[in-house]
Amino acid sequence: MVIQWYPGHMAKAKREVTEQLKKVDVIFELVDARIPFSSRNPMIDEVIQQKPRVVIFNKKDMANLKEMEKWYAFFREKGAYPVAVDAKHGKGLKNVEAAAIEATREKFEREKAKGLKPRAIRAMIVGIPNVGKSTLINKLANRSIAQTGNKPGVTKQQQWIKVGKSLQLLDTPGILWPKFEDQLIGKKLSLTGAIKDSIVHLDEVAIYGLEFLIEHDYEALLAHFKIDVPRDAEMLAWFDAIGRKRGLLQRGNEVDYEAVIEALIYDIRNAKIGTYCFDLYSEWQAETNA
């Protein structure tokens, strides 16, 4: 499965973020809690340089909390301040402001020592598209704001939005696009809905998701679809079992495999089967140290 990478978009996004850096005190890096590594832009560290960083794990309600804690520790070791939120339902948002205060504490103590007046913390959100950035901005601002300019021809005036008592958010952050050098990352992004279904081979995505569940949550997989398939069965047997149990059939009583693929991806993507982290820290660590 080959997923296109658009270097022009990446370069533009990098310029936009770089231009805004001098205006902000802290960066909010938004990631999907189910894929906290795969949903990062690979040049994020280079782009934001030494700015304090709050890493926001969105969709925490859909993630495996034990696995997420391992990634928490990973980001802490890098000097970041990780927090988890469920932006869609407005959960954990107070933790974002608290983390921003902690991340900028030294800077504001230095400003206070110089006799500068107290002011609000200025933050900017960065992240790849479709990990919930617009939803988070709207929830933090407690109102619906205009869409950020990620469409051709859209120009909007920059403005600071008040968030809580001590935080201001720049509502026109640069969008950092993913770079798909590792096709497994592409499958993870697709499975979690971060990239459009129309640009990937969904059969490969469904097989990846199914293989993950067979290995890591076999019993829950069987219980969810109310099927009985041996763990080592071929993929076709799994698709057949799911299709017949769900009644996803075509003429001649043949399984509608496209419908099975869509149903499988939908149920995994929307945490109908269970809550998962598809970025397993132990696997990432083993690959990194290899």
φ, ψ at 234 (rounded to 5°):
-70, 155
Distance CA 79, CA 233 (A): 45
Distance CA 261, CA 238 (A): 11
> How much is the pTM?
0.90
One pLDDT digit (tens) per residue for the chain, 290 residues: 666 666 677 777 788 888 888 899 999 999 999 999 999 988 888 888 889 999 999 999 999 999 999 999 999 999 999 999 999 999 999 999 999 999 999 999 999 999 999 999 999 988 888 888 889 988 988 877 645 443 433 334 567 888 878 899 986 555 777 777 788 998 999 999 988 888 888 999 999 999 999 999 999 999 999 999 999 999 999 999 999 999 999 999 999 999 999 999 999 999 999 999 999 999 988 887 75
What single DSSP character describes residue 253? Answer: G
Largest separation between any pair of C-alpha atoms in the chain: 81
What DSSP line would sit under 102-130, residue for residue?
HHTHHHHHHHHHTTPPP--EEEEEE--TT
